[in-house]
């Protein structure tokens, strides 16, 4: 087992942060549209109804993605590449999770509120 794998370290930290932030946002969602806290895109900030939906949807997805990243991080303990490749694979998964979060949330907003 390689506990010094940057793949493992990066994904366990990011997955843990996603999960914790997701739970905090789920428990204490931003009530009103703001530029500081919550899922903030031009489409989610068009109305209070869109804002509320986007917060609920993205928070659940963030928790899910965080748990998935934590599970995937275990592979970093079992499979070892060079330090640089470990980092790039882990960082790529992190970027893909962000892209996936935005893509799925924006798509859900368009499906639920097609007029906006």
Express each pLDDT in 42-100 by its tens digit: 999 999 999 999 999 999 999 999 999 999 998 888 887 777 888 899 999 999 999 99
d(CA 101, CA 96): 8
- Res. 28: pLDDT tops 80: yes
Instruction: Give the number of C-alpha atoms closer than 13 A to the C-alpha of residue 53, restricted to the C-beta side.
Output: 18
Please measure the distance between the N-terminal and C-terminal CA atoms of the chain and give it in whole angstroms: 50
CA distance 63 to 88: 23
pLDDT of residue 3: 61
Q: What pLDDT does residue 88 have?
A: 92
Q: Which of 27, 9, 10, 4 is nearest to 96 (CA)?
A: 10
What's the confidence (pLDDT) of residue 2? 60
Virtual torsion, Cα 1, 72, 22, 99, nearest 10 deg = 140
Say if residue 7's pLDDT is above 70: yes
- Which pTM does this prediction carry? 0.89
- 87-96 confidence digits (pLDDT tens): 899 999 999 9
Give which of 67, 89, 68 is closest to 20, Cα–Cα.
Answer: 67
CA distance 28 to 23: 8
């Amino acid at each position: 087992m390689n506990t010094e794998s940057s793949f493992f370290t990066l994904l366990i930290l990011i997955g843990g942060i996603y999960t914790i932030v997701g739970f905090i946002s789920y428990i204490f969602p931003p009530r009103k549209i703001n530029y500081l806290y919550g899922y903030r895109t031009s489409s989610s900030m068009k109305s209070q109804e869109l804002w509320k939906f986007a917060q609920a949807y993205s928070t659940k997805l963030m928790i899910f993605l965080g748990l998935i990243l934590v599970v995937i991080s275990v592979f970093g303990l079992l499979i070892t590449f060079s330090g640089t490749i470990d980092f790039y694979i882990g960082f790529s998964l992190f970027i893909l999770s962000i892209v996936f979060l935005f893509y799925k949330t924006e798509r859900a907003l368009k499906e639920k509120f097609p007029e906006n």
